[in-house]
Amino acid sequence: MKSYLTLIRQVLPYRKYVFLFAIFSVLTVVFSLVSLVLLVPFLELLFDKTPLVSEKPAFTISTSYFVQNFYYYLSIKIITAGKVAALGFFCVIVSCVFLLKNLFRYLALYVLSPLRNRLIFDLRDRLFQKLLNLPVSFFHKQSKGDLITKFTSDLTEIEYSIMNTLETSIQSPLNIVLFLGAMLFMSVKLTLFVFAMILVMALFIGRIGKSLKKENAQGKEVLGRLTAILDETISGIKIIQSYFSQDWIYDKFSIENKAYFDTFNSIYRKRDLSSPLTEFLAIIVVCIVLWFGGNLVLNGSDLTAPIFISFMVVFSQLIPPAKSFASAVYEIKKGMASYDRIQTIFQEESVQANKNGLPISCFEKSLTLSNISYTYPNTIAAAISNFNYEFLKGKKYAIVGQSGAGKSTLLDIILGFVQAEGEVRLDNELIGQYSLKDYRDLFGLVSQEAILFNYSISENISFDARKINVDQALVIGNSESFAHKLGSKVIGERGAFLSGGEKQRLTISRVAYRNPEIVLMDEATSALDSQNEHEVQLAMDNLLQNKTSIVIAHRLSTVRNADCILVMKQGRLIATGSHEELYSSSEDYKKMVDLQSLS
């Protein structure tokens, strides 16, 4: 129910479309009713099944008055113009009624189209905006395959299962209400009996729909795992083939594929059951109503044979919208499972940008970390433990340590990607007091993996279509030679058209374009060969001139000239100093240097 209310709230901004759709739908049903109600009494009079009414009945608020009044005007037309002329006139009236009915039906669909499409557009737009502003820690705990499934398959499910049934969800209830109203006008007793039958049928169908929603949610989870396996397989196809692990990875895929088959097999069987089951139940209800109504007519109650025939004609028109509504319930249950999955993203807390925070445009004194500790979710060992250090403006710092020492986590904490215990202060002010955008504008990050996008080089550097100062940034990053060759062409997915060294030099150019106060580098040369390392190192030297820098170093030869080297082990800062000082005082540092055969 909560999900339904959430969906209704999303429709509220477009209530004018809903209102117009409801109005046109009501007019559609009214003219449909008129065409049905006119038919039986006219045929009764035309073929002498009912005596012609020559005197206008006295006004009373009753069903019989309106019926007799209608008979009177039809009788006058037959008496004055003859049966053939009256039949022709009636055919013209019926044609006009059906023309108006279908005109209003088209207008209802016409105003519904922008509502249906706009809802999905806005949902997709808000979902992407939300995704862009979620903390980095969210992506650590989420499967990429599941996120992609939510953004693709689940949105498609909502579009087809919920939005495509929006017409039915609004129009069918209106049809049912108006048809029931007409039936109540004809016979209250018989209508209440029909309503009780429909209620029993709806409760029965609802139980099946509830299980359908649960199974569809399970199916989406399986699809997320399938997508994750596919993504990892494409990314790691070289490793899979080099180790001849095709059978192993296929077995993993096959298990999830079989689970997907079994789940959706059950879903489709239950969904396909809705139409024949509803039709069978409807026929049962019709037979029971025929028996019950026929008894009322034969036993001499207020229900006459013509009214009963009209009642059954109207009731026959009640079955299609009831059937459509029952099918819509199945589809909505199925789609709401996808909607609930998407809501889990909206319920995540976004990064607090603190737009009203203190403005800051330059780094003046120091960046201080006090008593910093952090443990990743679902882990026991701390990634960072009681870290304390002050980074001074204009100095070059290097952080070294074995894998898992907490070096990259430290950079994430400095940038505010993860919220750790302790305090991070910039120029003696807690970083949370600053505008997040202003604070991060002070930093430039070169990560170990070159993060590039399938756009042009200039767009990868500036993140817009402009080319202002891009050439200067290319020179600093030692990237101008290959950049000029590619020109405005895209660089391929994840920079596929570039070599490893070119990718890393391009990310350095990106930082140079930003011209930050503080440069953070996370093992920027660890995956490069000697030639590429040399070229990237030249780019790094150009970039770091007159900058405050914190460099995570894998190859210790790159950090010997740092003003201060920080040695980390198992999340703790265990030693600081110059290369010479640490080599003579720190066993851990000396061991690392000796292992790399440094002099």
For 273, the token pair is 């059951």
Considering 292, 312, 346, which residue would you say is the last residue of a domain? 346
Same domain, yes or no, for 329 and 437?
A: no
Q: How confident is the model at residue 239 (pLDDT cuts 50, 70, 90)?
A: low
Q: Which two tokens stand for residue 209?
A: 């729909």
Residue 436 pLDDT more than 80? yes
The answer to whether position 358 is within a domain reads: no
- pLDDT for position 599: 47
Digit-coded pLDDT (tens) for 6-28: 556 666 777 788 788 888 888 88
Residue 583 domain-assigned? yes
Buried b / exposed e over 127-137, threshold 16 CB at 10 Å, is beeebeebbeb
Lowest mean pLDDT of 283-287, 515-519, 533-537, name the range. Answer: 533-537
> Are 439 and 574 members of one domain?
yes
**Rounded-to-integer distance, Cα 24 and Cα 8, Å:** 20
Q: Which residue has the tokens 């028109």?
A: 317
Measured CA to CA, the distance from residue 12 to residue 263 in angstroms comes to 34
Q: In whole angstroms, what is the distance from residue 446 CA to residue 551 CA?
A: 9
50: Cα within 13 Å, side-chain hemisphere = 22
The secondary structure element, H or E, covering residue 565 is strand 564-569
Q: Is 474 within 8 Å of 458 (Cβ atoms)?
A: no
Distance between CA atoms of residues 314 and 292, nearest Å: 16
pLDDT score of 388: 94
Whether residue 538 sits in one domain with residue 436: yes
Q: Domain check: are 306 and 398 in the same one?
A: no
Q: Is 407's pLDDT higher than 80?
A: yes
Highest mean pLDDT range out of 91-105, 172-186, 242-256? 91-105
Residue 16 and residue 136 in one domain:
yes
Residues contacting residue 446 through CB under 8 Å, at least 6 positions apart: 504, 507, 508, 511, 519, 520, 521, 522, 524, 540
Query: In DSSP terms, which residues pair with 389 in a beta bridge?
Result: 369
* Domain shared by 190 and 311, yes or no: yes
Among candidate residues 346, 374, 398, the one where a domain is terminated: 346
Residue at 93 is within a domain = yes
Other C-beta atoms within 10 Å of 348: how many? 14
Question: What's residue 524's pLDDT?
Answer: 65
Question: How confident is the model over 592-597, as a mean pLDDT?
Answer: 78
For 16-47, give one letter per residue: b (16+ CB within 10 A) or e. Answer: ebbebbbebbbbbbbbbbbbbbbebbbebbbe
Instruction: Give 280 or 257, the one with higher predicted confidence.
Output: 257
pLDDT classification of 386: cutoffs 50, 70, 90: very high
> Residue 106 is part of a domain; what is its CATH number?
1.20.1560.10
Whether the per-residue pLDDT at 533 is higher than 70: the answer is no
- Residue 433 and residue 525 in one domain: yes
Q: What CA–CA distance (Å, rounded) separates 330 from 212?
A: 7
Residue 204 placed within a domain: yes
Prediction pTM value: 0.66
Would you tell me how many other CB atoms lie within 10 Å of the CB of residue 69?
15
In a domain, 62, yes or no: yes
What pLDDT sits at residue 374? 92
Span of 224-228, 419-423, 449-453 with lowest mean pLDDT = 224-228
User: The domain containing residue 498 runs over which residues?
Assistant: 366-595
Question: What pLDDT is recorded for position 372?
Answer: 93
Task: Indicate the length of the chain as a whole number.
Answer: 599
Spatial separation of the C-alpha atoms in residues 297 and 399, rounded to whole Å? 95
Query: Any idea what the CATH number is for the domain that residue 496 is in?
Result: 3.40.50.300
Query: Do residues 315 and 386 share a domain?
Result: no
Among candidate residues 418, 482, 416, 425, the one with its CA nearest the CA of residue 452:
482
- DSSP reduced 3-state for 443: strand
Q: Are residues 425 and 570 in the same domain?
A: yes
291-303: b or e for each residue (b if 16 or more CB lie within 10 Å)? eebeebbeeeeeb
DSSP codes joined into one string, 456-487: BHHHHHHSSS--TTHHHHHHHTT-HHHHHHHT
Residue 461 belongs to a domain:
yes
Distance of CA 500 to the CA centre of its chain: 34
CA-CA-CA-CA torsion for 382, 383, 389, 395, nearest 10 degrees?
A: 180
Radius of gyration, alpha carbons of the chain: 37
Residue 541 lies in a domain: yes
| CA separation for the pair 367, 365 (Å, rounded) | 7
522 and 465 share one domain:
yes
In a domain, 352, yes or no: no
The rounded Cα 414 to chain-centroid distance in angstroms is 31
Closest CA relative to residue 318, chosen from 205, 145, 232, 202: 202
The pLDDT value given to residue 105? 84
Q: Are residues 122 and 234 located together in one domain of the fold?
A: yes
> Which pLDDT tens digit goes with each residue over 322-372?
667 666 666 676 677 778 888 888 888 877 767 778 888 888 899 999 999
Q: Are residues 226 and 83 in the same domain?
A: yes
Summarize pLDDT for 276-289 with one digit per residue, the tens. Answer: 776 677 777 778 77
Q: Could you give the number of structural domains in the chain?
A: 2
Q: Is the pLDDT of residue 232 over 50?
A: yes
Structure confidence by residue, pLDDT tens digits, 25-46: 888 877 877 766 666 666 565 5
Distance between CA 339 and CA 334 in Å, rounded? 9
Partners of 576 in the β-ladder = 566
